[in-house]
Structure 1
Amino acid sequence: MIALPGVPSLRSSFYRIYPALSMLVLLGLWHIAANATASATLPSPSAVLTVLAGEVRSGNLFHHLGATLSRLAVSFVLAMSLGSALGVLLGRHPHLDRFFDVWVMLFLNVPALVIIILCYVWFGLGEAAAVTAVVVNKLPNVVVTLREGTRALDRNLLEMAESYRFGRIKTLRHVIAPQLFPFFVAAARNGVALIWKIILVVEILGRSDGMGYQLHLFFQLFDVAGILAYTIAFVGVIQLIEWAIFQPLETRAMRWRR
């Protein structure tokens, strides 16, 4: 088939509807399975939508969603800031990297649940302990990603910056930062995916609000429709963040390859 200039081909147009078609198939299968089982443990999409609408009208969804997103934002900023700085530092200084590598590997392999429990035991069931637990769990991943990115820096560009006497700030801004940007975006994208899952556990164990707390409450009531309603709402918000922020950033980070 010959595509005319400026006119999208039939195949490309068909590919664009794949996501919507896939979602419709999923909803259809869900509806069929719910009707076939006729059980409260597998509510239909319409039942879940009814619960979701009720939570929106009451304001409960916005309250708990806002609490979780605020913890996610604070934890994300702290983990990315500290992790990026430490990753660049270890990548630029082999002796420090050699010394602290054991620490990084240790925190990478400590279960998230253990860190959450220890933070609550040491610092109490407060907001600071919750955020600290999330940051400590995410920090090693950011350090490793940025450390590998720093190790992959183009040495010729660094030597050129030194020859032209750029200085530390100018070298960081014009030579190091552009090369590390793809690694930073990768760490950020993975960070959001990991942090929000850890936050749910943190909220289940020691907070009185948030998506995790509400999911735990629905679990105690065996309210599967409520669990699915809050899950769909939160996943939708995370997907919106992915489309609006991380996909444009990834496109920008990979622009130099084109």
Structure 2
Amino acid sequence: MKPDAMPAAAPTSWRWSALGVVLIFLAWEIAARVMGPMLMATPWQALQSIADLSRDPGFWSNSQASLLRIAIGVGTGCFIGFTLGVLAGHDARLRGLLEPLRWLLMAIPPVVVVVLAMLWFGLGSGMVIFITILMMAPGMYVNTVKGMRMIDRGLLEMSQVYRFGAWMRLRHIYLPALAAPLTAALLIATCGGVRLVVMAEVLGAESGVGYALANARSTFDSGRLYAWVLLILALVGLLEFLLLQPIQRRLTRWQEPSHA
């Protein structure tokens, strides 16, 4: 190994991660016993309530409503952020024009956006999707611009010499260079988008997981409330480990060191 070479980061230990999960559930069990069933259900009670929820007709309708909002809101927000980021990475004037809007959207508290969206759109899917798009786009935009500005200028000059079209430049230069920051931004956006959709539904929707959470809270049904929390965590876990991380590994596979 060369003296200035940095050792590769060790992979995450799944055994220690599993221990971390066990410790979280142990702390949850202790806290539930201390606080009482009115304030906090035990993990076992929450799991039992999931079985009860699955037999409730409203469970599937609320779940489908939230999943649709997450897909539309996160997908549209990330697409807008990526498109504007690519354009702004090319043009410093557009980047300067969008900077105040980027700062405004990233600085304003989400609760303020929820209140304003409720006034403009009323209750329902339109309000939730609008909030999600508005909050997701800036993060993707920032990461795209950062990646665009880190692209080797020599590669761009070479693409001009060989007369690469827009699609060739996007496929062979921009996307490989942007793969790492964009997949990380997409992971953060998806997890944040789930939380944002649920929060918006709690505050002002007539259906969805957040609406069901608010109902469970109003009736002091702690078992059902924590059951929904577990289901939200399961959804985020499935999206991250079964969808987003495989996409990230595939897109950044070319960056892995060769063992030849």
Q: Same fold (TM over 0.5)?
A: yes
- Measured in 2, the distance between the counterparts of 1:19 and 1:100 equals 41
For 2:41, the aligned partner's letter is: P
For 2:224, the aligned partner's letter is: G
Q: Which residue of 1 aligns with 2:256?
A: 257
- Measured in 2, the distance between the counterparts of 1:164 and 1:95 equals 27
Q: Pairwise mapping of residues 138-177 of structure 1 onto structure 2 (< 5 A)?
A: 138-177=136-175
- Measured in 2, the distance between the counterparts of 1:36 and 1:119 equals 39
Q: Which residue of 2 aligns with 1:84?
A: 82
Against the structure 1 CA distance between its residues 99 and 220, is the aligned structure 2 distance closer, same or farther, given a 3 Å change threshold?
Answer: same
- Of the three residues 40, 51, 54, the one matched with 2:52 is 54
TM-superposed deviation, 1:21? 3.5
1:235 equivalent in alignment to 2:233: yes
Aligned length: 245
Q: Pairwise mapping of residues 192-231 of structure 1 onto structure 2 (< 5 A)?
A: 192-231=190-229
TM-superposed deviation, 1:205? 2.3
1:244 equivalent in alignment to 2:242: yes
3-state DSSP class of the match of 2:39?
coil
For 2:155, the aligned partner's letter is: L
Q: Pairwise mapping of residues 29-44 of structure 1 onto structure 2 (< 5 A)?
A: 29-44=27-42
Maintained 8 Å contact 1:61/1:230: no
- Measured in 2, the distance between the counterparts of 1:213 and 1:148 equals 37
CA-to-aligned-CA distance 1:209-230 (integer Å, 9 cap, x gap): 1111111111111222211110
3-state DSSP class of the match of 1:78?
helix
- Measured in 1, the distance between the counterparts of 2:35 and 2:80 equals 50
For 1:41, the aligned partner's letter is: L
- TM-score normalized with structure 1 length: 0.87
Against the structure 1 CA distance between its residues 102 and 169, is the aligned structure 2 distance closer, same or farther, given a 3 Å change threshold?
Answer: same
- Measured in 1, the distance between the counterparts of 2:30 and 2:200 equals 35
Against the structure 1 CA distance between its residues 66 and 172, is the aligned structure 2 distance closer, same or farther, given a 3 Å change threshold?
Answer: same
Q: Which runs of 5+ in 1 are unaligned?
A: 1-14
- Measured in 1, the distance between the counterparts of 2:106 and 2:23 equals 39
For 2:71, the aligned partner's letter is: A
- TM-score normalized with structure 2 length: 0.87
CA-to-aligned-CA distance 1:44-66 (integer Å, 9 cap, x gap): 22221221110012243332222
TM-superposed deviation, 1:128? 2.1
What is the aligned-residue identity percentage? 27
Against the structure 1 CA distance between its residues 225 and 17, is the aligned structure 2 distance closer, same or farther, given a 3 Å change threshold?
Answer: same
- Measured in 2, the distance between the counterparts of 1:107 and 1:93 equals 21
For 1:85, the aligned partner's letter is: T
For 1:202, the aligned partner's letter is: A
Q: Which runs of 5+ in 2 are unaligned?
A: 1-12
1:121 equivalent in alignment to 2:119: yes
For 2:182, the aligned partner's letter is: F
- Measured in 2, the distance between the counterparts of 1:21 and 1:138 equals 32
Against the structure 1 CA distance between its residues 29 and 119, is the aligned structure 2 distance closer, same or farther, given a 3 Å change threshold?
Answer: closer
